Amino acid sequence: MSTSRNPDELRYIWRAWRDITGKPLREKYIRFVELANKAAKLNGFEDAGEQWRSEYETDDFREQLEELWDKLRPLYEQLHAYVRSRLRAQYGEENVPQRGPIPAHLLGE
């Protein structure tokens, strides 16, 4: 993937890698989430996410993250647009749509 610039080859490699690595771990990950949530409930939390967030020394952690995202979003959107335009120039409009997610297999390593 680090040297190819053929979008069809990159798509094939990306999908094959995801099938080989992702599918076998899916059930294990689902079980991990179930066990993490069960342990969190036994420790008095609603779920594992609440337990993880409790490690931060603030009661308004979510609000702080939302405020930070509001500040970073314009930069993120500009960066996303720049990457899309460069990928469209490299791979063409037929491989990089004008809207929606950027195809991950074209992002390289």
Matching residue, tokens 């490699």: 13
Question: By the 8 A CB rule, do 60 and 70 touch?
Answer: no
Matching residue, tokens 């993490």: 36
User: Was 56 annotated as part of a binding site?
Assistant: yes
How many separate helices (H) and strands (E) can be counted in the chain? 3, 0
What SS3 class is residue 45?
coil
Its sign, for the CA torsion 67, 55, 32, 39, is: negative
| Binding-site annotation, residues for chloride | 56
| Binding-site annotation, residues | 56
